[in-house]
Amino acid sequence: MGTENPNRPNFPARPAVTPFAAQQSATPFLSSGSVVGSEAPPFRPVSTASSQFSTPPFSAGSEGPAFRPPPTSRSNELVRPPPPSASYGPPSSGFQHFPSPQMPSTGQLPPPRTSFTGQPVVPMQTRPPPGHVSLPSQPQPPSVPMGSPPQSIKTGQPNMNIPLSADQHFLPSRPNAQASSPPMGPSYATPRGTFQSAFPGYANMQPNSVAQAPTMQPSSFPLQQGNYGPPAPSTPFLSQQRGYTPGPPMSTPSGLYTGTQMQQHGIAPPLANSQGLAEDFSSLSLGSVPGSFDAGVDVAALPRPLGGDVEPKTFAEMYPMNCSSRFLRLTTSGIPNSQSLASRWHLPVGAVVCPLAETPAGEEVPVVNFATTGIIRCRRCRTYVNPYVTFTDHGRKWRCNICSLLNDVPSDYFAHLDASGIRVDMDQRPELTKGSVEFIAPAEYMVRPPMPPLYFFLIDVSASAVQSGMLEVMSQTIKSCLDDLPGYPRTQIGFITYDSTIHFYNMKSSLMQPQMMVVSDLDDIFIPLPDDLLVNLSESRSVVEAFLDSLPSMFQNNMNVESAFGPALKAAFMVMSQLGGKLLIFQNTLPSFGVGRLRLRGDDIRVYGTDKEHILRLPEDPFYKQMAADFTKHQIAVNVYAFSDKYTDIASLGSLAKYTGGQVYYYPNFQSSIHKDKLRHELARDLTRETAWEAVMRIRCGKGVRFTTYHGNFMLRSTDLIALPAVDCDKAYAAQLSLEETLLTTQTVYFQVALLYTSSSGERRIRVHTAAAPVVADLGEMYRLADTGAIISLFSRLAIEKTSSSKLEDARNAVQLRIVKALREYRNLYAVQHRLTGRMIYPESLKYLPLYGLALNKSTPLRGGYADAQLDERCAAAYTMMALPVKKLLKLLYPNLVRVDDSLVKTEEFDISKRLPLTIGSLDTRGLYIFDDGFRFVVWFGRAISPDIAQNLLGEDFALDYSKVSLSQRDNEMSRKVMKILNKYRESDPSYFQLCHLVRQGEQPREGFFLLTNLVEDQVGGSSGYADWMLQLFRQIQQNA
């Protein structure tokens, strides 16, 4: 439909950008439009036109049924001056035009024939004179009129507008409508509702800019409005409006309506009844009905997690003794009581565990020392004592909450019970009151003396490493962290460097300078010294410092470009295998020498899209997996730092980190001048954060359920024992449950996560998190208790795992399919009692699921095809996402976008929580925006930004190429403010350093690369935009529904 295109232009300000925005044209929906066009020429020849409304019989002018809210995307349209109203006049029939104003904007709406005579007037108002048009930033006036008038038309009352979102809540707000004409109180047909809502939404969006006219905002109508009001077909007014229409006096426009309205009525007979009030699901009206091509989604009304991740609260309230949700999140807190129920749920049943999550001050996990009694555990299932065990027999026995076995209470642990059966010493026993405790483990929990914290560095010193400056930044950082390494004075440290040979360093404390030994026989690696390659840091401190000082200069003139990575890895393994610890690998090139050498792959485009594509994402050489398995066996965790701009086969290198519980840090095209701060921060955090060593983790759960599959970066040591050579607060693990018995008879299922580890101080400890969850027999309840964050976390891990055995597209489709199945099942729950036509319904708890699903499909590991992301980048992101805790993952999927120029100019304090929807429509050419996904900042300068701001922030560089400019603190208020904001964001999320990328509007390809591809709600490349995505889901949900 050519027609749509015209709309596009409307992002007036930025031509360059438009393509992205524009994409909508592509939508399938177009075709139908023609029908309308003819009839309502004045309107934009709108595309689809027509009837979204399937249901009701259109009595008369059926052609024009178009209530559909205009596709949101179109918002641009506002801009256009509407053709003079003439068109509206058409006589007759009964088609009411609703929204004349909309029409212009959406194009879609135009019901062909308007009956309203009055209308012409209205439109005039609404439309801004051509001149105004467009820029969002511009004076809003246009917007105001637009918003309200239309409404008036429709509803008859301008006031009606109600704040968007809350579907059900608006009742109170609407009072006028009802009040005004109580008797009339027509029912709104739901579809109608949608129509309206869409419109308003539309209005809202545009002006995302601050300016929105107040009236506008309220405009969105909750869908459900329709429901209120008894159906009162009788009065003409009613019928028109279907809804609220207030009595004629109220709104002039209404008066205009003529008999034609009746038809509308016919179209959507008042369905509503009071049941709307009782609906316990959220819904989104999508105007389309199966079979119709027209789509109308009110973009502004789509749910967005602008408040960030929200943890379900009901659960915590129900079981106050549960561990905090930062440690354990269940995908649904209602555990299904039967296998058939579980299979109908379609989403994963499982948990995401972050055993060492950082706790805010004051909520530290209490440490309990059972020195004399030994740790109290169930004899049979080995569950640790926890708040949910019950004491009986005057306190002499306790019943395990997981397996219900009656255990004896050791005499040292005995306490009397009070009248209500509670131990008298309850308040002094954190293990009986808190969901998270840490036990100090006695010698039985050790297979060897607790290991000291051990850091071993394997450093590539080939020519590229030296040239990029990586070597220098790294040695400086390590040196500055020496004081903060955990575990003083037991900490051990060692180094190996390599290019085409391997260099060992003797760091014996009696030496002044480290001694270097070169081994060039790569086929048969041996260790030149039995010890002293790994030394105690506090004893050899001066030697280590001398080494780090001289390291960059030692290899300054190294011209060797080879990398004997495999042999060096083996050497490091031999040095470390006695103790275990953490191995940090700094790799700059593709391993090219000796065992484990890799070759360039992934540059053959023909492979993409075929069945062999996934092989590129798997380790090429089994050497790496084998080494990873050996590392885990010997308690060595590997962190890989990769720096090359060329292909380094992160898929292979990363598998070392994946199976040892490590992490991959990837700095493509590392240049110390740009990435210095990022490497410094992340390396320092890696070295200094509290780390748990030689750990194993097990999740126990009650009878009848069992954790079957585990997802994350680790290796399983037995079916349910996760081996973690090193764990820290930035790692989370996911697991899926399955039901072993067909029917669960218990009321509650308990989960207990136990992490046995050696702390940096050399203590063996067990961290135990306990949670209880109710067993439910009702599918609706499962949905109500669902946790989107945990579900998405599991989804992303499953999808990433799927990319290593099939095509990207299959992985994306799998995500989509599961969402569709889940929502379809949910729809079926309510389809009988409620009228759902034209609405997509979902539980309140899952309202963000579709959006996050979309964002997941557009995330680096899953997006597009060959050209959309470098293979290495994809793999690195995949390894990272496999380990991310829920909150950070959600932030990565739906990043923060905030506008800061206003607060720079004014004096007010910057409101960090004012997030914007991730669509290009949120960006105003005169604004300054910060985009933060937890891994980087993108600072976006609008084209029309006041030079003042740019100059203040960037000094003299503001006119240069932004890729060469960095944001640093300058001596003026604005600059200080921006830096303050950035630092605030950084502090709130210290796991990674967010490097600042400056982007100017229209500066391609940087803008596209950094920002536009990450605006997940927009249509980019071949992927759909948010509104389209919802329609796709909606359509699929309706099939076979």
Partner 1 sequence: MGDLFAWLISFFLVIGVIGVILYQLMCLADLEYDYINPYDSASRINKALLPEFVAQGVLCFLHLFTGHWVMFLLCAPYAYYNFTIYTRGRHLLDVTEIFNQLPWEKKVRLYKLGYLVVFLALTIFWMIWSIVDE
In single-letter form, the type of residue at position 675 comes to H
The least CB distance from residue 822 to partner 1, in Å, is 24
The least CB distance from residue 632 to partner 1, in Å, is 8
CA distance 640 to 650: 9
Output 322 or 713, the one with its CB closest to partner 1.
713
- Exposure string for 883-903, b = 16+ CB within 10 A, e = fewer: bbbbbbbbbbbbbbbbbbbeb
Note whether 718 binds partner 1 by CB under 8 A: yes
Note whether 447 binds partner 1 by CB under 8 A: no
**Segment interacting with partner 1 (CB under 8 A) among 312-320, 594-602, 707-715, 738-746:** 707-715
End-to-end CA distance of the chain: 30
Note whether 740 binds partner 1 by CB under 8 A: no
Note whether 629 binds partner 1 by CB under 8 A: yes
CA distance 578 to 574: 8
The values of phi and psi at residue 898, to 5°, are: -130, 150
The angle, 0 to 180 degrees and rounded to 10, between the axes of the packed helices 1026-1038 and 849-857 is: 110
Output 130 or 622, the one with its CB closest to partner 1.
622
Output 414 or 445, the one with its CB closest to partner 1.
445
The least CB distance from residue 716 to partner 1, in Å, is 5
The least CB distance from residue 377 to partner 1, in Å, is 18
Q: Which of 519, 715, 724, 737 binds partner 1 (CB under 8 A)?
A: 715
**Segment interacting with partner 1 (CB under 8 A) among 240-248, 291-299, 450-458, 710-718:** 710-718
Q: Which of 205, 356, 628, 1011 binds partner 1 (CB under 8 A)?
A: 628
The least CB distance from residue 596 to partner 1, in Å, is 16
CA distance 980 to 974: 10
Tokens 């069992």 belong to 706
Q: Which of 411, 719, 745, 1040 binds partner 1 (CB under 8 A)?
A: 719
Q: Is the peptide bond before 81 cis (omega within 30 degrees of 0)?
A: no
CA distance 359 to 682: 20
The angle, 0 to 180 degrees and rounded to 10, between the axes of the packed helices 650-658 and 622-633 is: 20
Output 710 or 842, the one with its CB closest to partner 1.
710
Q: Which of 129, 139, 449, 622 binds partner 1 (CB under 8 A)?
A: 622
In single-letter form, the type of residue at position 920 comes to I
CA distances from 40 to 25, 35, 64, 836 (A): 20, 9, 9, 30
**Segment interacting with partner 1 (CB under 8 A) among 82-90, 155-163, 373-381, 628-636:** 628-636
Note whether 558 binds partner 1 by CB under 8 A: no
Note whether 717 binds partner 1 by CB under 8 A: yes
CA distance 12 to 135: 6
Output 723 or 819, the one with its CB closest to partner 1.
723
Which pair of tokens denotes residue 737? 């449950």
The values of phi and psi at residue 58, to 5°, are: -90, 125
Note whether 633 binds partner 1 by CB under 8 A: yes
CA distance 45 to 500: 68
Q: Which of 5, 343, 626, 968 binds partner 1 (CB under 8 A)?
A: 626
**Segment interacting with partner 1 (CB under 8 A) among 122-130, 276-284, 624-632, 760-768:** 624-632
CA distances from 35 to 54, 82, 93, 261, 768 (A): 16, 20, 16, 21, 66
**Segment interacting with partner 1 (CB under 8 A) among 309-317, 393-401, 626-634, 734-742:** 626-634
Note whether 738 binds partner 1 by CB under 8 A: no
The least CB distance from residue 601 to partner 1, in Å, is 15
The values of phi and psi at residue 706, to 5°, are: -155, 140
**Segment interacting with partner 1 (CB under 8 A) among 28-36, 331-339, 625-633, 749-757:** 625-633
Output 719 or 1040, the one with its CB closest to partner 1.
719
Note whether 707 binds partner 1 by CB under 8 A: no
Contact 638, 859 (CB under 8 A): no
Which pair of tokens denotes residue 576? 């470390």
Size of the site for partner 1 (CB under 8 A): 15
Output 125 or 709, the one with its CB closest to partner 1.
709
Best CA proximity match to 280, nearest among 778, 843, 819, 847: 843
Q: In what order do the strands lie in the sheet with 350-353?
A: 328-330, 350-353, 733-739, 705-711
Cα 788 to its chain centre, rounded Å, is: 10
Binding-residue pattern over the window 655 to 674 for partner 1, x denoting contact by CB under 8 A: x---x---------------
Output 689 or 698, the one with its CB closest to partner 1.
698
Which pair of tokens denotes residue 736? 């899926």
Best CA proximity match to 368, nearest among 317, 308, 321, 413: 413
Q: Strands (DSSP E) along 588-740, which ranges?
A: 636-642, 663-666, 691-701, 705-711, 715-718, 721-728, 733-739
Q: Which of 709, 748, 813, 963 binds partner 1 (CB under 8 A)?
A: 709
Contact 116, 91 (CB under 8 A): no
The least CB distance from residue 612 to partner 1, in Å, is 11
Q: Which of 278, 600, 605, 716 binds partner 1 (CB under 8 A)?
A: 716
Output 634 or 914, the one with its CB closest to partner 1.
634
The least CB distance from residue 736 to partner 1, in Å, is 12
Output 492 or 736, the one with its CB closest to partner 1.
736
CA distance 473 to 448: 37
CA distance 187 to 232: 7
The least CB distance from residue 327 to partner 1, in Å, is 24
Which pair of tokens denotes residue 504? 């060992």
Cα 189 to its chain centre, rounded Å, is: 35
The least CB distance from residue 872 to partner 1, in Å, is 21
**Segment interacting with partner 1 (CB under 8 A) among 222-230, 583-591, 709-717, 1008-1016:** 709-717
The residues binding partner 1 (CB under 8 A) are 622, 625-626, 628-629, 633, 655, 659, 709-710, 715-719
